[in-house]
Structure 1
Amino acid sequence: MKSVSKFSAVCVLALALAIAGTNLASAGSRDLESRTQAVDRFTDWFFYKVNPQLGGRKLRSSDSYYIREWNAIRSTVEREMIATPGDCVGDAFWDFDSRYHGRSLDRIADTIWDIRDPSGDKTRADVSKQEWQKLRDSIIREHFCY
């Protein structure tokens, strides 16, 4: 009876380790997916903050200007986003480096500005500086966890 119990315990332990090993092996692909989802979520957030006229509606294939802007924002968000240990559910979440958070938001604002003003002339006049600041202020966000 004792040997059967020991054998059962070893089998249960081996099964648990096999399941845990499978989960560890697939963690890399889940992390990539989680990062991709986070990049898309942040991109949507910034995009709809600077385009409130869309009311959060999904983009259509005919919205080429908006699609170009969304893709440009996504590219910048993807470059700026890092894994951040935090107090959210799980061991880490995707966010911007808190030491450079303002710089990341500046880069996102620059990206949007460049799409909207392809001449790249941010120094046209004080009006341009005010417009850029208004754009930058519109993308300030509170810290939130997913």
Structure 2
Amino acid sequence: MVCSLAIALVLSSPNLAKAESREQAVDRLTDILFYRVNPQLNNRKLQAGDREYSNQWRRLREAIDPRVKSVQEVCFRPAPGDTGWEFTVINGETYEQTYDILADTIFYSRHPQRTGQQIPKSDRIGISEWSAIRREMYISNCGL
């Protein structure tokens, strides 16, 4: 009985669990945002026929990838044993600009014919879609 309890404690301990690789963290963060902006998928795994969704996921991952850094690099005053990966800004962007870029990534992957064009103020449907995407764009950082 004691042995079973000790094994259960070891297996459930976050410090002893297998650490997440950077690639796994990028995939996890991509999944979080992808499924937030595509709730109709109900977190189901993408299938071979989901070409548009797969393209959207891939483009989002490409945008997120350079923004995933080590906790030690990103977080202010990380604890001595803190390890793992966090989402952050790059190239002097603000978080607002970063989330705008990610919303653009999703919007223009849905509408590739509009890539490079700003959404006209008269396009209420396009503005509404972009705004809905942008509202879902948030990943907590450094436990905040």
- TM bucket normalised to smaller: 0.5 to 0.7
Contact 1:81 1:94 in 2 (8 A): yes
Contact 1:85 1:93 in 2 (8 A): no
**Number of aligned residue pairs:** 115
Taking the aligned partners of 1:35 and 1:91, their CA distance within structure 2 comes to 11
Which 10-residue stretch deviates more, 80-89 or 126-135? Answer: 80-89
Unpaired runs of 5+ in structure 2? Answer: 1-18
Residue equivalent to 1:114: 108
1:63 matches 2:50: yes
Q: What are the equivalent positions in structure 2 for 1:43-122 lying under 5 Å apart?
A: 43-83=30-70, 84-86=74-76, 87=78, 90-91=82-83, 93-97=85-89, 100-120=94-114, 121-122=117-118
Larger of the two Rg values belongs to structure: 1
Please state how far the C-alpha of 1:61 moved relative to its aligned partner: 1.3
Please state how far the C-alpha of 1:75 moved relative to its aligned partner: 0.4
Taking the aligned partners of 1:138 and 1:91, their CA distance within structure 2 comes to 27
Unpaired runs of 5+ in structure 1? Answer: 1-30
Please state how far the C-alpha of 1:144 moved relative to its aligned partner: 6.2
Same amino acid, percent of matched pairs: 31
Q: Name the SS of the counterpart of 1:94 in structure 2.
A: strand
Which residue, 112, 119, 122 being the options, matches 1:123? 119
Contact 1:80 1:104 in 2 (8 A): no
Q: What are the equivalent positions in structure 2 for 1:26-37 lying under 5 Å apart?
A: 34-37=21-24
- Give the residue type in structure 2 aligned to 1:137: R
1:136 matches 2:122: no
